[in-house]
Each structure stands twice: as C-alpha cells, then as structure tokens.
C-alpha cells in the first residue's frame, strides 16, 4: 500500500479504528475522518486526521477537496460510517432519531461516494470499500442499510470501470479482525 492514499470515514469509531490501523500497518498514507477526530487519536505519522461532517454534499466535497489539496490524489475510499439507535419500536421512534439514522446510514454514504468517485475514476484503479449492515427485525427499526445495499449494486454497475473494485462488507455484530490486502 506504499504510495496509496486512503480515505477512511468514521476512522476513530468502532470498526473504523481497526480499518484505519490496518491500512497504516500496510504502509498506506491514511486520511482519517469523523466528526470528532484528532491527530492524537493515532500515533502514526502516515495519518492525517480531518474532522468533517459528510452527511451533506458540501461537507463531503470540502473534505475531498482537502485531501486533493494535500495529497493530489485518492486511491481508496473505506467508508465505515454507520450506526443504530435501537430500543424503540418503529411507531415510537421520533422524527429526530429517524433523521439522524437516515443521515448517518444513507446520506453519508451517498455524499462521500458522489464526492470521491470522480477522483477514483482518475486513478484508473480506484477502490471503494463500503462497510455496513445491521440485522434487526423490521418491527424494531427502519432498515436504511437495505438502501445502502441497493446503492452498492447501482454504484457497482455505474463504476464498472475504471474504478476497479467495489467491496461491500456486511459484518455481524461480533468482533472482527480486519486486515488490509496489500496487493
């Protein structure tokens, strides 16, 4: 991964921390982002921490513009942002919670993809890794990840080439060990 620039969204979150560290261990230059990230979250000189709000078009575009200004390119997007506010039935969920989950699980993915895909196409070998899926009973919560899976299928057909790979991982709630493939 030497010479590769990787953008990890949700870099200091649960799974994002492991994904970020795996890319750093593989020798990549990593731009880690989340709403509240600091350079001190990772003790590696190959990490650049950029706080950003990617649930809007402007926020995602500003972040990607900063990556390009600093590194001149982007080779990999690893999108790990996602979450779940459970505990209530679907009829009891208030509008603010629903909107927060929609922004977190769908809008973030949509806006960061829209901002990064043109750059990834320029490389001729760009990679998108989208991580997210939650299995919950439909009566417990609205499943925005179904939309994410459909978005992944549409993106795969849209990108086809020159973005070489779209990887959509669907982890369970169990603890996982993440390794970056340096090929």
Q: Are 111 and 103 in contact (CB under 8 A)?
A: no
Instruction: For the chain, give percent helix, strand, coil, nearest 5.
Output: 40, 15, 45
**Residue 167 belongs to what H/E stretch?**
strand 165-169
* pLDDT tens profile 31-42: 999 999 999 999
Average pLDDT, the chain: 76
Is 70 exceeded by the pLDDT of residue 174?
no
CA dist 66 and 144 (Å) reads 29
Instruction: Report residue 156's pLDDT band, with 50, 70 and 90 as the boundaries.
Output: low
Is 60 exceeded by the pLDDT of residue 179?
no
Tell me how many degrees the CA angle 26-31-37 measures, rounded to the nearest 5.
Answer: 115
Is 70 exceeded by the pLDDT of residue 96?
yes
Is 60 exceeded by the pLDDT of residue 183?
no
Instruction: Report residue 158's pLDDT band, with 50, 70 and 90 as the boundaries.
Output: low
Is 80 exceeded by the pLDDT of residue 119?
yes
CATH for 5-169, among 1.10.10.1100, 3.10.105.10, 3.40.50.720, 3.40.50.2000? 3.40.50.720
Domain residue limits, the chain: 5-169
């Amino acid at each position: 991964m030497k010479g590769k620039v990787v953008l990890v969204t949700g870099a200091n979150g649960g799974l994002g921390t492991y994904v970020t560290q795996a890319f750093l261990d593989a020798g990549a230059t990593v731009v880690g982002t989340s709403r509240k990230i600091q350079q001190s979250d990772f003790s590696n000189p190959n990490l650049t921490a950029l706080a950003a709000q990617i649930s809007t078009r402007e926020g995602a575009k500003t972040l990607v513009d900063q990556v390009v200004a600093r590194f001149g390119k982007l080779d990999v997007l690893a999108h790990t942002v996602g979450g779940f506010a459970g505990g209530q039935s679907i009829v009891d969920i208030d509008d603010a919670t629903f909107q927060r989950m929609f922004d977190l699980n769908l809008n973030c993915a949509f806006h960061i993809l829209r901002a990064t895909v043109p750059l990834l196409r320029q490389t001729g070998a760009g990679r998108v890794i989208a991580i997210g899926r939650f299995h919950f009973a439909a009566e417990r919560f609205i499943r925005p990840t179904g939309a994410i899976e459909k978005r992944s299928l549409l993106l795969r057909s849209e990108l086809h080439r020159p973005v070489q790979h779209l990887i959509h991982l669907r982890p369970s709630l169990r603890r996982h060990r993440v390794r970056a493939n340096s090929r």
